[in-house]
Structure formats: structure tokens, C-alpha cells
Amino acid sequence: MALVQVTPFSSERYFCSQLVVAAYDYAGLPLTKTPAEWVAPGDLLHMRADDIPSVIPIYPLQCVGHLRCETSLWQLSCALVDI
């Protein structure tokens, strides 16, 4: 038998997937009924359509592509720069 201690989560700090789920909840478009603090980054990945999710999504997510840089009149280069 194992003992698991769960400490209360602080609402002042978020990790990446928790922030995504909490932001959608706040916007009124919940991704899942699972509390944000219990959703791991891999859980978001498996919420996509035609996958086996570990956290049940309200609506299956759809990949719309990867973020990428395209040069333009305002963005002459796609190189990383210090801000």
C-alpha cells in the first residue's frame, strides 16, 4: 500500500498545461471537466481527435499546424533576437 500526499495548489503560479486549461475555463470554453491543476502537458497532446486521451476532452482538439515565421515587409528575418 502506498501513501500519497497531495498539497493544496496555489492559484498564484501555473505550469504550462495548467495555464492553457485555466485560460480556456476563464474564457468560458472549457477543454475538459478535469481541474486544470491535474492536466499535464501530455494530456493536452492526447486530447486531439483520433487519439486516446488520458483526460477526457469536452471537444476533441484539432491540430491546425505548427507556428512558424514567415518573412514580410515588417518581419525581414526569422532569426531569434534579444528582446
- Measured from the Cβ of residue 3, the count of other Cβ atoms closer than 10 Å reads 4
Phi, psi of 41 (to 5 degrees): -55, -40
Residue 20 has pLDDT above 70, yes or no: yes
| pLDDT digit string, tens, across residues 24-70 | 999 999 999 999 989 999 998 889 888 888 999 998 888 777 777 78
Residue 79 has pLDDT above 80, yes or no: no
User: What is the average pLDDT value for the chain, to the nearest integer?
Assistant: 81
Cell of 38: 491535474
pTM score over 0.75: no
Q: How is residue 73 annotated by DSSP?
A: S
What ranges do the domains of the chain cover? 12-83
Cell of 12: 498564484
